[in-house]
């Protein structure tokens, strides 16, 4: 792929599910880092530890792969051990529209090639846990960082909510990338005012699974309505889902984008 010195090349990796997802991400980054001349790697890591939540060791492992910033969502506090560390971790963010006393930070600024990026995590409110308005929360954050290019991980269930958010901030956000459903959508595009958008970046986890968990677990729950423990699917081919986009360091506009849907191994 043609890459240039006057671009910042960014990879956003969809929800990483469990050990299999991590292994897939490690090998994908080692392959893509050079091929795409990656400058900034962001990944949703809220399911990276055993399929639910994240631990300190897993966080360190992901940074070791070359990931710059981990985002999260409704599962951020699932592993209790991470809660006490969150205020002091500068490369893992939780949804910004949680209560102000919620542990952790909702956004982070990172600089690459002289360009300052504002990476923000937000939680949708349709079919999701209670949270503050993501629109108003983001408006407030934007007003505090006018010199940065905002990249949003909008962690939500409803397509309509993600669509509305992206159009509302078209031209104000550099990118609005949906996560949480674990299924990559085919609507990646530049909106009329230049914001890069995709409803869901997808996941890194087992292909033959229900969004990463053993499909029989999920089927049984739907058939019986009885709560059941979900196990992460570890067998078979793995998915690596991500989106790549590139900005010109002078114009600060997106000059290239593509989604990545790889099926790996056996
Ligand atoms: Fe989620």
Question: From the CA of 7, how far away is ligand 1's center (Å)?
Answer: 31
> Residue 46 Cα, ligand 1 centroid: separation in angstroms?
7
> Which of 39, 120, 34, 27 has its CA nearest to residue 73?
120
Residue 216 lies in a domain: yes
Q: What is the pLDDT of residues 122-156, one digit of tens each?
A: 999 999 999 999 999 999 999 999 999 999 999 99
Q: For all residues of the chain together, what is the average pLDDT?
A: 96
Across 51-67, average pLDDT:
98
**How far apart (Å, rounded) are the C-alpha atoms in residues 18 and 231?**
10
Question: Is 241 contained in some domain?
Answer: yes
pLDDT tens figures, 232-263: 999 999 999 999 999 999 999 999 999 999 99
Domain membership of residue 77 (yes or no) is: yes
Whether 255 maps to a domain, the answer reads yes
Closest CA to 28 of 39, 18, 41: 41
C-alpha distance from residue 28 to each of 41, 87, 89, 115, 127 (Å): 12, 30, 25, 25, 32
Residue 96 has pLDDT above 80, yes or no: yes
Q: Is residue 64 part of a domain?
A: yes
Q: Is the confidence at residue 266, as pLDDT, over 80?
A: no
Residue 27 burial by Cβ neighbours in a 10 Å radius (0-12, 13-18, 19+): middle
pLDDT at residue 116 tops 90: yes
Q: How far is the CA of 132 from the centre of ligand 1 (A)?
A: 17
Q: What is the pTM of this model?
A: 0.97
% of the chain exceeding 90 in pLDDT: 97
On the question of pLDDT at 1 being above 60, the answer is no
Distance from the alpha carbon of residue 205 to the mean position of ligand 1, in angstroms: 14
- What is the CATH number for 254? 3.60.21.10
Neighbours of ion ligand 1 (CB under 5 A): 73-74, 180
Out of 75, 155, 180, 182, the active site residue is 75
The yes-or-no answer on residue 75 being catalytic is yes
Output the CA 163–ligand 1 centroid distance in Å. Answer: 17
Report CA(123)–ligand 1 centroid distance (Å).
Answer: 9
Q: What separation in Å is there between the alpha carbon of 251 and the centre of ligand 1?
A: 34
Task: Grade residue 4 by pLDDT with cuts at 50, 70 and 90.
Answer: low
Q: How many domains does the chain fold into?
A: 1
pLDDT at residue 56 greater than cutoff 60: yes
Q: State the pLDDT confidence band at 5, using cuts at 50, 70 and 90.
A: confident
pLDDT attached to residue 2 = 47
Identify whether 3 is part of a domain: no
> Per the domain annotation, does 4 fall within a domain?
no
Pairing of strands 196-198, 175-179: parallel
Is the predicted pLDDT of residue 12 greater than 60, yes or no? yes
Q: What is the DSSP letter of 75?
A: T
- 190 domain residue, yes or no: yes
Please state, in angstroms and rounded to a whole number, the distance separating the CA atoms of residues 173 and 19: 32
Give the range of the structural domain holding residue 249, as residue numbers without chain letter.
9-264
Give the whole-angstrom CA distance, residue 200 versus residue 186.
9
Kindly state the percentage of the chain with pLDDT values over 70: 98
């Amino acid at each position: 792929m043609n890459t240039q010195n006057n671009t910042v090349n960014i990879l956003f990796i969809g929800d990483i599910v469990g050990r299999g997802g991590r292994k897939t991400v490690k090998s994908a980054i080692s392959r893509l880092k050079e091929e795409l001349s990656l400058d900034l790697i962001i990944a949703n890591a809220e399911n990276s530890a055993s399929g639910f939540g994240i631990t300190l060791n897993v966080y360190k492992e992901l940074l070791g792969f070359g990931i710059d910033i981990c985002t999260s969502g409704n599962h951020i506090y699932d592993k209790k051990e991470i809660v006490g560390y969150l205020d002091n971790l500068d490369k893992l963010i939780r949804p910004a529209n949680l209560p102000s006393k919620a542990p952790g930070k909702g956004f982070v600024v990172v600089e690459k090639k002289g360009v300052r990026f504002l990476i923000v995590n937000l939680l949708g409110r349709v079919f999701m846990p209670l949270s503050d308005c993501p629109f108003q929360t983001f408006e407030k954050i934007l007003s505090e960082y006018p010199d940065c290019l905002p990249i949003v991980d909008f962690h939500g269930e409803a397509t309509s909510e993600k669509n509305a958010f992206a159009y509302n901030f078209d031209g104000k956000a550099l990118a609005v990338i949906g996560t949480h459903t674990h299924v990559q959508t085919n609507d990646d595009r530049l909106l009329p005012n230049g914001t890069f958008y995709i409803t869901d970046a997808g996941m890194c986890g087992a292909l033959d699974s229900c969004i990463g968990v053993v499909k029989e677990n999920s089927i049984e729950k739907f058939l019986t309505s009885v709560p059941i423990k979900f196990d992460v699917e570890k067998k078979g081919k793995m998915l690596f889902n991500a989106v790549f986009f590139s900005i010109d360091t002078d114009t600060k506009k997106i000059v290239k984008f593509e989604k990545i849907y790889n099926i790996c191994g056996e």
